[in-house]
Amino acid sequence: MPNINWFPGHMAKARNQVQEKLKQVDLVLEIVDARIPEASRNPMMNQIVGQKPRIMVLNKQDLADPQATARWLRYYQDQGFAALAIDAQHAKRLNQISALARKLMAAKLEKQKARGIRNPSLRAMCIGIPNVGKSTVLNRLVKKNIAVVGNRPGVTKNQQWLKVDDSLALLDTPGILWPKFDDQLIGQKLALTGAIADSVFQEDTVGLYGLDFFQTHYPQALRRAYQLTADDMALSAPDLMVVLAKKLGFGDNYNRAAERVIFDARQGKFGPFTLEVPDDDAEGL
Ligand code: G4P
């Protein structure tokens, strides 16, 4: 993936900002895109978050392949995380976050109760790379954006806490954590799902990656979307792109066809999809 630089200096700054704020929370909600759960993670996330209890939140569930999502949930649970798939945009399953947080932190809540705290509450922080839906999650969870000023020991004065319910408060997301887009395949996945700006990738490469992917993994959906024949489907992806350009009225403008494939994938024209499954080999799904 050319033209994309991953700045170690920026990374270090964001990492420090997050780690500073981590001290103030009981648990972390790591938000990822359910279509690319690993590609949409910051490569240093495990180091950054360390042992802090974590809920892996697979957002954009509505856009992802349900079977793949089920596999990913098991995968993260097997790694010792709590995990949940949600659709923040349509406010689906969001209410399960608080319940899952209480379950994950049951021992701590019990301890607080034993110390005489009548309504113990938890503090959490949403983290994730840009575009996974952190703001949407926050806005939907908090509804009216009620800001609560921190008044507990160890909490920075005037720290804004967003109240989800009586037992959960969220800290606004700190810093920007970037994905690992210096890896070509990861970059393509991020581009196809719209996680990175169009100006930083080559559309023909990403479009071709997408076409090849759908041709291999979701052939029926691709066929239906563009009314392709069995012969079309038997072509190599580059040859199919040439056919598609003609079919779409773009003549021999291959790039416009590639752009269209990207656009249509993001719009859901091929239905829900997931670009990677757990324990992938280097070739992706
Ligand atoms: P961020 O804070 O992590 O950067 O992400 P943000 O909430 O801004 O969400 C990025 C995009 O993803 C937004 O779309 C948002 O609407 C969309 N989104 C968030 N959660 C979901 C989800 O569960 N399902 C679907 N389908 N989309 C989701 P946008 O096109 O950038 O903006 P807009 O169309 O909402 O104006």
Instruction: Say what the pLDDT of residue 213 is.
Output: 98
- CA 88 to ligand 1: nearest atom: 23
- CA 268 to ligand 1: nearest atom: 26
- CA 63 to ligand 1: nearest atom: 26
Instruction: Say what the pLDDT of residue 8 is.
Output: 60
Closest CA to 29 of 124, 137, 155, 138: 124
134-151 pLDDT per residue, tens: 999 998 988 665 555 444
Instruction: Say what the pLDDT of residue 9 is.
Output: 67
Mutating to test ligand 1, I would choose from 87, 131, 138, 162 the residue with most ligand atoms within 8 A of its C-beta, which is 131
The binding-site residues of ligand 1, defined as CB within 6 angstroms of any ligand atom, are: 59-60, 62-63, 87-89, 128, 130-136
7-37 pLDDT per residue, tens: 566 677 778 888 888 999 999 999 999 999 9
| Ligand 1 atom 31 nearest Cα | 131
Instruction: Say what the pLDDT of residue 247 is.
Output: 97
Ligand 1 centre to CA of 131 (Å) is 6
Q: Which residues of the chain have pLDDT under 50?
A: 1-5, 149-156, 281-284
Ligand 1 centre to CA of 14 (Å) is 22
What is the domain partition of the chain in residue ranges? 9-172, 202-266
Mutating to test ligand 1, I would choose from 33, 136, 172 the residue with most ligand atoms within 8 A of its C-beta, which is 136
Ligand 1 centre to CA of 133 (Å) is 5
Task: Please state which CATH class domain 9-172 belongs to.
Answer: alpha beta
Ligand 1 centre to CA of 87 (Å) is 10
